[in-house]
Structure 1
């Protein structure tokens, strides 16, 4: 079963289009879509609930108070863990002879093209533990992104690659990823609610840094980030995100090595 987790905050303009695209891309893949409404102030919740009434593979969870990206991901993951233990698997047919539960995350603003999902699922079924859709992999690109945001994303990858190197990984901050569900759930059992402590967009990097320790096979596939398709204002606060990245580095290095080893690095 594929579980697609969509954190959504004020995405009324894009959500219905994205859900249509996901359903089309996953028409041959048993899929559950989990929309996590993070206390949106627009019609996001109503749109998600109306969609779910027509399509039973869509489920909606709603926060009464805003919990940020990290909190929304955690809610979506716990819902996926619950579903994978309780949904019947009999009668599900894959194109291949093997079967893996997969948890996939992507942005709900329609900037991540859903047509990459089958390739990411295929890579997990071919043995990958984690697949990252990367703007920086050969063949990837990004469109419509402000130069400052481009610089921030590129810089985050360079800095995180220095402190938390992962062979072959170039895109640390993109949230378009597919995880082998058993590995993600085992990582959650180890960290519990501390799996994602960062409330800012640095939470995506924190999640990656913690999960890769339990992955044997990590792969990147290229994708085109289409930021020009985004409706409304960006949710990212640049200064808070930069601060979140540096706070994350200090916190994780202190936990792992202590101050002396961290200063030496």
Structure 2
């Protein structure tokens, strides 16, 4: 499934490139105001921090929420304590768009993450041109040389990189490129099975100067507490927020 999602994202990027060239999107990216330093917003604190996600659908659960106004949802997240807003821009399975990202960026003052299946520089330039402060790189989707190349390219644009891992081997690949923001995703993107103890089993191998993000398997404040007790600095949450009262749910998470 991960390879299909990545291939689809690349095909969609190629289609956009027919209308907006690499040179044009690069110029738009370089014309943006400097990106916010997401590492400062997500730095370890005496409370858990939340990356709150604008997420309409997923391959594993199908439709989750219509989200006609992603900017309004992002405002709710920011007003209720989210440290960063994640925006799914993948259109085939997650029903997101770059327009969602642009709309969110225009409405919030916290960092914005482009969450997609990124495997080439053009997609990173698109993210910066749309106002993103962070991009996601999924270790499992990229050969090590390409992972390092894309990470370096994103950093050169002033972006923060959330490097997502799903295993011990992937974690050490992330550390090999000196990642400073590492996510451990409980959901296997090949099988979509959940391992709720994966984060706890790996966190001890993440250096203290790296921000630790627990991804997926967050249903309620108990799950947030579980991750916090294991050593998470940040949780990334989408489904639990978009399928509930987002303000109340987010507040309950931040009370952990």
Q: TM-score, normalised by structure 2?
A: 0.30
**Over alpha carbons, which structure has the higher Rg?**
1
